Structure 1
């Protein structure tokens, strides 16, 4: 009888692990779809942010445009297409990042809590988000380099020294590398002129920005969920708030993304400058970029583009978390598995296995 109980326990564990892996792969898919959705919707805002942050390299420190001036300039020179330059590599990178970010976040969090009990709670959330984003960086960074260079180039009409739009002469920015007709052409051109180093330009600075950003966003998101649960338990708000996971993901995801984006803006400025500068080096590295930006532009330079960055991340994060929660509720719930915990806590119920044994 003991043998039968042990066998049943092992079979149940195997079944749960199997379903867990199945749902885990679903998380990769949902994360990829959600990430691409958020990037595609908010790409025009990201284009403005990238152009604002790269002005010092392309046009010098004098007469830098503010947000409204930059929006007007892009519209006058390139039209609607200018706002969507680089959207294909942007979506491609977001597919990879979203997949790894949400695909490994639960398993990483569970492993961290089990193997290092002292790191339970917010630290586990931070580590899980950081690991998920780091794995996606191998695809994301080259896509980010191509995307940002295409964004600052604008459309082909921006290549002439002076662009005439509606009878008005508009001076275009300095061009520091050849024009890219698309994602494939951009990748091949960067590879030919700068090699692998060019495609991974600013890789360490990207990790220095994205690892803390990803970790903070998960940590803030989970903390905000804990706060809503506490408020619900105290009867301050309706239980329907927490029951609607899509709406919860929309609101809490937006708050978590916006706060994380603002705190990591200086890291984003450094990353953008390093990736946009091309082969004509202005900064020799991450620390050199921080030193020069601080010395020449001060705190304002370090937080340049913070408003469009926050404006991008609040709705992008909100849409991403909403999409993930929606897909989880409407598709993961169809997987028949009475013994598996909710997908938000992917693990085998050890207590139940002990009772079976």
Structure 2
């Protein structure tokens, strides 16, 4: 049985198109929050699991969402909210297209091999999402690296454009320079995308059954898809967030260290686990969740918009194919 995400009337290429459209639109909506999240992640002040006022954040530049947005706006203008947005748009477009194409191909492969009878539906969805996310992450990782480095540039502009940045990274760091942090990225994305697709499929399917029984109105299908996307995104992101912090730290270990990371702090790009332990020792366990709030505030609308646009684009293609 196909998942709620796919459609037997659409090809993998058509679903890839739906994903690309959804990725581009959702990225533009959440770009400012992404910049704030990245800058919070890269600050290496110590944080503790406490609600007391024992640890002051007066010296921390990016301590909370609204003040951080104001600081960036004041110092860098509206463009500061969208630093790294162009490579990020390329990332979201290509990532979403590859991801949904791969997911559909994997789902069809499991149907052909009659794995559906052997595996529970949720397990099949989890495996398809996990592999699809890994493939998309590996192929599009250089765009993620560029997005991060553009987002954390201060007054000194080491990278002035995408092609200049690619040329600079390749000439100084070689081909490996495009893949620092790829290991924690893969470690993170496997459970994240597996959980995201599985939870979205379960939630959206529940809403669908309620609509079929006339318990919920079909005219609110878009709202149901948005709720399913937002909830699944929050659950999945929270589960894997510490690995995302490690990935960001490793991504800025090039020849130009960001202004937002103490320059004496260096992490081995060959050991994401050692990096995680170093963060815990130097900054406290809670530091693995730096930037979590803006990340969740970002991921909820991002996934809500992504799945809403994906489903609406999918519906348009289905209606078009039925008319022809």
Show the counterpart of 1:166. Answer: none
Q: Distance in 2 between matches of 1:336 and 1:194?
A: 51
Unpaired segments ≥5 residues, structure 2 = 1-6, 46-55, 258-264
C-alpha distance in structure 2 between counterparts of 1:196 and 1:119, whole Å: 39
The match for 2:251 is: 275
**Cα distance between partner residues in 2 of 1:126 and 1:87:** 30
Q: Normalized against structure 2, the TM-score is what?
A: 0.83
Higher relative contact order (CA 8 A, sep 6+): 2
Asked if 1:291 is matched to 2:277, the reply is yes
Written as runs of structure 1 = structure 2, the 5 A alignment for 1:87-236 is 87-112=85-110, 114-116=113-115, 117-154=117-154, 158-159=155-156, 179-232=158-211
3-state SS in 2 of match to 1:153: coil
Matched-pair contact (CA < 8 Å) for 1:52–1:70: no
Q: Which residue of 2 aligns with 1:259?
A: 235
Question: Partner of 2:247: helix, strand, or coil?
Answer: helix
Partner-residue secondary structure (3-state), 2:43: helix
Separation of aligned partners in 1, 2:105 and 2:286: 40
Q: CA deviation at 1:225?
A: 2.1
Pick the aligned partner of 1:81 from 79, 82, 87: 79
Give the whole-Å Cα distance in 2 for the aligned partners of 1:246 and 1:89.
Answer: 29
Distance 1:226 1:22, change over 3 A: closer
Deviations 1:122-177 (A, max 9, x none): 111111112222222233210011110110004xxx23xxxxxxxxxxxxxxxxxx
Alpha-carbon contact 2:245-2:290 (below 8 Å) kept: yes
Alignment of 1:240 with 2:240, yes or no, is no
1:24 aligns with 2:45: no
- Measured after TM superposition, the shift of residue 115 of structure 1 is 4.1
What's the CA shift for 1:295?
1.2
In 2, distance between residues paired with 1:324 and 1:103? 13
1:34 corresponds to:
22
Distance 1:150 1:94 in 2: 16
Larger Rg: 1
Residue 22 of structure 1: how far off its partner (Å): 6.2
Partners of 1:74 and 1:153 in 2: CA distance: 12
Deviation of 1:47 after TM superposition, in Å, equals 0.4
| CA RMSD between the two structures | 2.5
Cα gap change, 1:337 to 1:330, in 2 (>3 Å): closer
Indicate how the Cα distance of structure 1 residues 328 and 245 shifts in structure 2: closer, same or farther if over 3 A, else same: farther
Greater Cα shift, 141-150 or 253-262: 253-262
Q: Is the 8 A contact 2:226 2:307 kept in 1?
A: yes
What is the CA-CA distance between 1:55 and the residue it aligns to?
1.6
Equivalenced residue count is 293
Of Structure 1 and Structure 2, which has the larger fraction of its residues in helix?
A: 1
Counterparts of 1:71 and 1:82, CA distance in 2: 9
Distance (whole Å) between structure 2 residues aligned to residue 122 and residue 337 of structure 1: 33
Matched residues in 2 for 1:337 and 1:83: separation? 43
Q: Residues 48-85 of structure 1: CA distance to partner in whole angstroms, max 9, x if unpaired?
A: 0000001229xxx9833312443232122111111101
* 5+ long unaligned stretches in structure 1: 1-18, 160-177, 339-357
- State how far apart, in whole Å, the 2-side matches of 1:147 and 1:229 are: 37
Contact 1:206 1:268 in 2 (8 A): yes
Provide the rounded CA distance (Å) in 1 between the counterparts of 2:73 and 2:272.
32
Question: Contact (CA 8 Å) 2:204, 2:225: kept in 1 or not?
Answer: no
